[in-house]
Amino acid sequence: MEFASTIELPVWFVVLAGLLAAIGLIDRLLTPAVRWFLRRRVNRAIEELNTRLQLKIRPFGLTRRQVLIDRLAHDPEVVRAAEDYAKEENTLIEVAMDKAGRYAREIVPAFSAYIYFRVGIRIARGLSQALYRVRLGYSDVDALREVDPDATVVFVINHRSNMDYVLVTYLASASAALSYAVGEWARIPVLQTLIRATGAYFIRRDARNRLYRRVLARYVGMATEAGVTQAIFPEGGLSRDGLIRPVKLGLLSYIVSSHDPDSHDIVFIPVGLNYDRVLEDRSLVAEIMGKPPPVSTRQKTWKTLGFLAKNLRLRVLGRWHRFGYACVSFGTPVSLNKFLAANGIPGRMSLDKDEKPAVMQALGEHLMAEVGKVIPALPVSLVAFALIEAGEDGIDLLSLKSEVNSLIDRLRDRHAHVHIPHADRDYEVTVGLRMLQLRHIVTSSEDGILHIVPGEEPLVAYYANSIRHLF
């Protein structure tokens, strides 16, 4: 009996089999080795980076996104919320769990230290410096250095513009990688991928779904417990009139609810920022005047991008000027443990339903008061304040300089930070007035009297209001 025989195979079959074999070899042998090599290099880079950062990158931020999604979707509190949702909606628990999983995928970021520091920071620095003369105002350096390295740090910021994310990320990049809650305005292709890679997470601002809120609360709680450095805007949205808005307790309550003083403290760092020109100022003021019809978040986003494109074109043509100064100040850190102890709540914050709202409200108001103290006064805000005080009669240039000089003295008596370019108070007035005149907001009559252009009073008040609380 002969066992030797010849089998003929088509060439295409041999090629296909060889290709599949090569793919299998790469998948089983080469890919794991390459992943291990890259992971090892990334870990070394992060270790080196952590030696330079005051607030270290925590392991939670480096965990694979799918792992975090699974942990969040199967968290005991989320499972209980899904069970309640299934009962309320008279649906299967599997359907509720699937919905919780979708919410988790929507919320959880995909942080990449490389993209954050090599791409995100460069974009933030380039965009900030292209649009503004960026300045660091007051900073309580000694107090910031004494923050417990094991504490969870949360930057608490007033909300003036969508540029706030970019500006604070740039100025805080030497100390920390910040994780933001970003609204649905940024959920557009490509941009949302980059935003997720910088550690930001998307939230639905007006969500009333209790299951969604529980998933969001647990993600924020998990990040806080893991020591992730976060940044929040307690006002909940952009100021429409320039004044500090009443505090909203959503994200703040999620952060505090996860507090365990036996594990670590939560430290809030007040951040105050101000601009000589807010990119969205006319749109914001128009909203409170009731002028424009309601527009979607996507329309607002495209309008903002169109505005940036227009200014980029002017820059290329050499007919563009930067939008004045943008300044950020960092205040004295606020320890949650010390705040609770000062309010007679030692130890773990175990409050009943009647006590907790009052304590949270007190904390929120205290933090926003600390933020308000460090909001810097800039040339446009000072000139705008003086013009509003002058009223309809207007004011001449010499009197304007005298009034602004008086305002600066009053602010300094209150220990407020005033940014004076080149330490020249006359120049302070010159650059502030020039910005308003270039935008045709303020005009000068033949006799030299400065007036607010009719109809522009709300816009001037918007800038004056940014420092009104300091008086």
pLDDT in tens, 113-137: 778 888 888 888 988 998 899 998 8
How many angstroms separate the CA atoms of 205 and 103, rounded?
A: 14
DSSP conformational letter for 377: B
**C-alpha neighbours within 13 Å on the C-beta side of residue 421:** 18
Residues 6+ positions from 33 with CB-CB distance below 8 Å: none
Which SS3 state, helix, strand or coil, does residue 82 take? helix
Per-residue pLDDT at 369? 94
Find the farthest-apart pair of alpha carbons in the chain and give their distance in angstroms, rounded. 121
How many angstroms separate the CA atoms of 339 and 360, rounded?
A: 11
How many angstroms separate the CA atoms of 277 and 381, rounded?
A: 9
Q: Which residues of the chain form CATH 1.10.10?
A: 379-470
Per-residue pLDDT at 367? 94
Q: Is the dihedral of CA 5, 10, 16, 22 positive or negative?
A: positive
Can you read off the two tokens belonging to residue 35?
């992943």
**C-alpha neighbours within 13 Å on the C-beta side of residue 370:** 22
Low-confidence ranges of the chain (pLDDT < 50): 1
Per-residue pLDDT at 11? 77
At the top level of CATH, the class of 379-470 is: mainly alpha
Residue 201's CB: how many other CB atoms inside 10 A? Answer: 21
What is the CATH number assigned to the segment(s) 105-279+316-373?
A: 3.40.1130.10
Residues 6+ positions from 49 with CB-CB distance below 8 Å: 57, 113, 117
pTM value is: 0.83
Give the C-alpha distances (Å, rounded to integers) separating 122 from 34, 113, 118, 188, 387. Answer: 28, 13, 6, 21, 38
Residue 152 forms beta bridges with which residues? 266
Average pLDDT over all residues of the chain: 83
Per-residue pLDDT at 270? 94
Residue-wise pLDDT tens digits, 291-328: 655 556 566 667 767 777 777 777 777 777 788 999 99
Per-residue pLDDT at 370? 94
348 within 8 A of 367, measured Cβ to Cβ: no
Per-residue pLDDT at 30? 63
Per-residue pLDDT at 185? 64
